[in-house]
Amino acid sequence: MIQFILGSDEFLGHLDCSLAAIVAVSGGTLKEKLKSGGRTFRSIGGEIWIHAEEISANKQIVMMQFSANGLDKKDFLGKSDPYIIISRSNQDGTYSAVHKTEVIKNTLKPEWRPFQIRVQALCNGDYKRLLKFDIFDWDEDSQDDLIGSFTTTLDRLTKGQGQNNIYDCINPKKQQKKKNYKNSGTVRLNSISITQEV
């Protein structure tokens, strides 16, 4: 049994399933309703998605560093407090988050700290697997705002710093509303290196 609990020990629900059921599901994603406790085990309406795939034997570690320029101003009295969430594509077309950068306060041209991640976690060893970068503005009192997104691959990122690794951040809502919309800023790969885990 898998149980899901909020930060203050608030029980959200549970799911009973076997590992075999997760592995056998078509498309690699099991989607089930969460159930509450008690004798009736009634559904509480929440849904859990479990993605499963065979892990590659890749033992590489990638170190990357990014910066951005000209990001949209999202804060009423300031600029933006941007951070990046990197997600990898799944077999069913959804994405799963694999890394989140730190928040950089009050800037439209952040330079995030270098970070490292196992290639296995980033793309399961598939350099051509689609990666999505979502740039958000952090808000203390409300939901974080999407500044923009782009997709790339580790294969493209390994080409290194240069024009090929400068990306337009696209905000779909702004793109629909504004006729001459170009982007909501750009994100640049500043450095990348790949090493073998010892």
pLDDT tens-place string over residues 2-34: 544 444 556 667 777 776 666 666 666 777 777
Give dist(CA 185, CA 70) in Å, integer.
4
Q: Supply the DSSP symbol for 49.
A: E
Q: Residue 162: what residue type?
A: G
pLDDT tens digit string along 155-189? 999 999 999 999 999 999 999 999 899 999 999 99
- Report whether 123 contacts 154 (CB < 8 A): yes
Other CB atoms within a 10 A radius of the CB of residue 123 amount to 23
SS (H, E, C) 55-80: CCCCCEEEEEEEEEECCCCCCCCCCC
Residue 51 vs residue 84, higher pLDDT: 84
Coil/strand/helix, residue 152? strand
pLDDT at 57: 72
Q: Where are the domains of the chain?
A: 2-51, 60-196
| CATH class, 60-196 region | mainly beta
Residue 80 and residue 71: Cα distance in Å, rounded? Answer: 8
Q: How far apart are CA 26 and CA 198, in angstroms?
A: 35
Q: What SS3 class is residue 44?
A: strand
- Cβ-contact 13, 46 below 8 angstroms: yes
User: The whole model's pTM is what?
Assistant: 0.76
Quick one: pLDDT at residue 5? 45
Residue 58 — pLDDT band, cuts 50, 70, 90?
A: confident
Q: How many CB atoms lie within 10 A of CB 81?
A: 20
